[in-house]
Amino acid sequence: MTGERAGDYSCPRERAAPPEEPMQIVTSAYLEGNWGPVHDELDVPNLQVIGEIPRDLRGTFVRNGPNAQFAPIGRYHFFDGDGMIHAVRIEDGRASYRNRWVRTKGFQFEREAGRALWTGFAEPPNVAEPPHGMIYKNVANTAFALHGSQLYATWEGGPPHEIRLPALETVRMVDFDGRLDHPFTAHPKVDEVTGEMVFFGYTLWLPYIKYGVVGPDRRLDHYVQIPLDVPVMMHDFAITEHYSILLDLPYTFRMERMARGEVPLAFEKDRPSRFGILPRRGDASQVRWFELPACFIYHVWNAYEEGSRVVLLASRLAHTDVMGHSPEQAKRDYDGGRAWRFTFDLETGEAKEEQLDDAQADFTRIDDRLAGRKNRFGTAARFVPGADLPWIDGVVQYDFEKGRSDTHVFGKNRFGGEMVFAPREGATREDDGYVVGFVHDEGTGESEMIVLDAREIGRGPLARVRMPRRVPYGFHAAWVSA
């Protein structure tokens, strides 16, 4: 979805005061309890640590997520809230905390107005008279990309925003010197070997994507359009050493549904899933499409090459519905993601898929240094099956080579989010490091960041860093090594 118009601008650098009007209207479970927003921005040094933070863990854990600044216009969707970054900085066994909103152009306009100006994902936009000429507000609330020394806050409906550490300062919206004229995925892939950042972008009403490569010099130097049969929601993709894998899955947007009074975005169970493989700097004429039964993939672990074969590791759902058509549908959706391996043979044209595990797991992560190269390990958040909300009660560590897994369960009434791998200083092995992330105790109302040994996550936390306030449940996280 097209959000803010691309353009280079600087956001105010002073720390703004909290909104004068606190949220008063609750229209969604995602505005209540620890799903709901916080409104203050804190800087707290010397956090209490239970256990001991390893001395060879140095860097900053950052987590993005929706944090509504004002009461919504109409129905509120979990995707709608303004981006807020929560950060824990680790150094010499000590920890500090800071949180900041991502100060997008839309955020600033609403702060000046003292109220919400844009509708969200569950309401039709104001197309006739869009506020400030923008049909959608870029909320920059989804994930991160670390490209070289630059950290970007991302959202798949518009350009990324550059974030400066350690202050969490929003520097600017990035359009790569005016070349970016289309949405930018929330999950770009950074090749640590070549220094390239690979991305795509889609809109729900146009039957094509735009695919590009940003070089190590941060110049967008490859940018092409790739047609699709019908507009689809395409949240993630993958890269290998030489290829990119596009996910044309049957979660489609059709205007004729809207004309019939139906929700235009729907899963088509009888339509095949298509996986498009193209050279990293290829174009539409070089895409090879492979078909498999209908499914949906929100997040991939990784992809890599083995001779003539391309292997993709991902969390596969049998179907999905982000619009929440019914409570029963929502419960089925949360009981969806499982670890699967997909294999595509570029010589024979054969495509295969196989389920690897039965645990409901998504928010897939690997050691980011191995993006596009063969990985042995990967983590994922473990979801509670059949729940009314996407509760995460633990983290699973997969050994894809040996076909086994290890799990850390957060504990009674304790839930969390995406956990990420943080390599120890001087690490040479893929699993030589830690797994870190936020956990919230629904009983006490307290939040903490836990540190697990990546080789033995089932042993439980090496350290629990107590947060000075509750940290709302959110989306994706990243580790930025010192």
- What is the DSSP track for 422-447? EEPTT--STT-EEEEEEEEETTT--E
Instruction: Kindly tell me the burial class for residue 289, based on how many C-beta atoms sit within 10 Å of its own C-beta (0-12, 13-18, 19 or more).
Output: middle
pLDDT for the residue 284: 98
pLDDT for the residue 323: 73
In this structure, what token pair is assigned to residue 135?
A: 């049909």
16-64 residue pLDDT tens:
344 444 444 556 899 999 999 999 999 999 999 999 999 999 999 999 9
pLDDT for the residue 447: 98
Nearest to 303 by CA among 276, 281, 285, 284: 276
Give the DSSP H/E element, type plus range, for residue 330: helix 327-334
The per-residue b/e assignment along 395-425, b for 16 or more CB within 10 angstroms, e otherwise, is: bbbbebeeeebbebebeeebbbbbbbbbbbe
Q: In sequence order, what are the beta bridge partners of 44?
A: 97
Of 6-15, 97-106, 115-124, which one has max mean pLDDT? 97-106
Q: Please name the amino acid found at residue 118.
A: W
Band of residue 263 on the pLDDT scale cut at 50, 70, 90? confident
Tracing tokens 């040996």 back to the chain, one arrives at 402
Q: In sequence order, what are the beta bridge partners of 60?
A: 89, 480
In this structure, what token pair is assigned to residue 193?
A: 């070997």
Q: Which domains occur in the chain, in start order? A: 29-481 (2.130.10.10)
Nearest to 282 by CA among 200, 221, 224, 241: 224
**Is the bond preceding residue 166 a cis peptide, omega within 30 degrees?**
yes
Q: Would you give the distance in Å from CA 438 to the centre of its chain? A: 15
Band of residue 126 on the pLDDT scale cut at 50, 70, 90? confident
* 71: pLDDT strictly greater than 90: yes
Q: What is the mean pLDDT of residues 224-231?
A: 97
d(CA 445, CA 447): 7
Q: What is the mean pLDDT of residues 277-286?
A: 98
Helix, strand, or coil (residue 110):
helix
CA angle 417, 251, 387 (to 5 degrees): 35
pTM: 0.91
427-447 residue pLDDT tens:
889 999 999 999 999 999 999
Q: In sequence order, what are the beta bridge partners of 292?
A: 273
d(CA 452, CA 378): 14
DSSP single-letter state for residue 169: E
pLDDT for the residue 2: 37
pLDDT for the residue 262: 84
* 409: pLDDT strictly greater than 60: yes
* 5: pLDDT strictly greater than 80: no
pLDDT for the residue 324: 60
Band of residue 196 on the pLDDT scale cut at 50, 70, 90? very high
d(CA 314, CA 257): 30
pLDDT for the residue 335: 56
Q: Measured in Å, how far apart are the chain's first and last C-alpha atoms?
A: 35
Q: Judging by DSSP bridges, how do beta strands 169-173 and 161-164 pair with one another?
A: antiparallel
Band of residue 327 on the pLDDT scale cut at 50, 70, 90? very low
Residue scoring higher pLDDT (5 or 480): 480
Nearest to 298 by CA among 270, 340, 327, 344: 340
* 255: pLDDT strictly greater than 90: no
Q: Is 77 annotated as a binding residue?
A: no
Instruction: Quote the mean pLDDT of the chain.
Output: 92
Query: In angstroms, what CA-CA distances link 28 with 32, 75, 183, 210, 354?
Result: 7, 7, 27, 34, 37
Q: What is the largest CA-CA distance in the chain?
A: 63
Q: What is the mean pLDDT of residues 1-10?
A: 36
d(CA 135, CA 220): 26
Q: Is 161 annotated as a binding residue?
A: no
Q: Is 39 annotated as a binding residue?
A: no
Q: What is the mean pLDDT of residues 144-150?
A: 95
Residue 480: CB atoms within 10 A of its CB come to 18
- What phi, psi does 401 have (nearest 5°)? -75, -45
* 295: pLDDT strictly greater than 60: yes
pLDDT for the residue 332: 52
pLDDT for the residue 12: 30
* Cα atoms found within 13 Å of the Cα of residue 86, Cβ hemisphere only: 27
Q: Is 235 annotated as a binding residue?
A: yes
Nearest to 280 by CA among 215, 227, 230: 215
d(CA 452, CA 412): 18
Query: In angstroms, what CA-CA distances link 97 with 19, 38, 40, 272, 447?
Result: 21, 15, 13, 46, 12
Tracing tokens 């306030």 back to the chain, one arrives at 469
d(CA 310, CA 297): 17
